[in-house]
Amino acid sequence: MTSLHNALRRRIPHYLLSACVACLATTIGVVVWELAGDESFLTGSAPWLHIRHAHGFSYAQMPSLQNKTAVVTGASSGLGLAVARGLADAGCTVITTARTFDKCAKTTKTVGSGTCVAMELLELKSVYRAARVVKEMAPSGIDFLVLNAGIMMPPLTISGDGLEAQFQTNHLGHFVLTNELLPLLNEGARVVSVSSVAHRFSSQDELWTAEKLNDRQTYNKLRWYGWSKLGAV
């Protein structure tokens, strides 16, 4: 399988291969959607790509999470929203994050309970501020920390901190948040960093310096996205 993958990468431009994979996933998703006959079966930013009850799982199977506290980043839509709602329905106290105060208000309304903290991962000062607020909101500690927020394949963008946007949003921002919240993690707490099969598309060069990350000449949004998700593996 690996040799086939390498052969395809040599003969087919990476962007064309990615487009084919996306089309195939979309087609399969649409077929599943039609067979399910129930719109609630699907959720996510791209609904046909996110099957809510994969492998026969349903929220009804979740145990009671009373007296537990969870923090879910990027909960205004997609997987983060689905996770936050599932935890809240199980009785968990849920603290979500979203990029703006307006998105926070909508997130809290959709989840139906809990609180939301505005946090912009592209600004590390916002991450530190959000961590301080979360500490005040979770006096009994944190049982679940779900690092879900992320961006995917934008044009080259440099954050206010001077780093390529995908790397800072998908990896560095969450790294800082986790380090700030480590003292709050209760015994047996779980930290879930949402990864992606796209880490396989990461750059073959090691992007260990800001100069390489921010190089406009060599920037490839798919490979840089893969590199940012490799940090979650």
Active-site amino acid positions: 219
**Same structural domain, 162 and 191:** yes
* Residue 191 exposed, middle or buried by CB count within 10 Å (0-12, 13-18, 19+): middle
CA separation for the pair 230, 88 (Å, rounded)? 29
**Pair 143, 175 in one domain:** yes
Cβ-based neighbours of 95, under 8 Å, separated by 6 or more: 69, 70, 71, 72, 114, 115, 116, 117, 134, 137, 138
Per-residue pLDDT of the chain (233 residues; tens, 9 = 90+): 556 556 555 555 655 656 666 666 656 555 544 444 444 444 445 554 554 555 567 778 889 999 999 999 999 998 899 999 999 999 999 999 999 999 999 999 999 989 999 999 999 999 999 999 999 999 999 999 999 999 999 999 999 999 999 999 999 999 999 999 999 999 999 999 998 888 888 877 777 788 988 999 999 999 999 989 988 88
Q: Which amino acid is at 70?
A: A
Q: Provide the domain limits for residue 184.
A: 63-230
76 and 177 co-located in one domain: yes
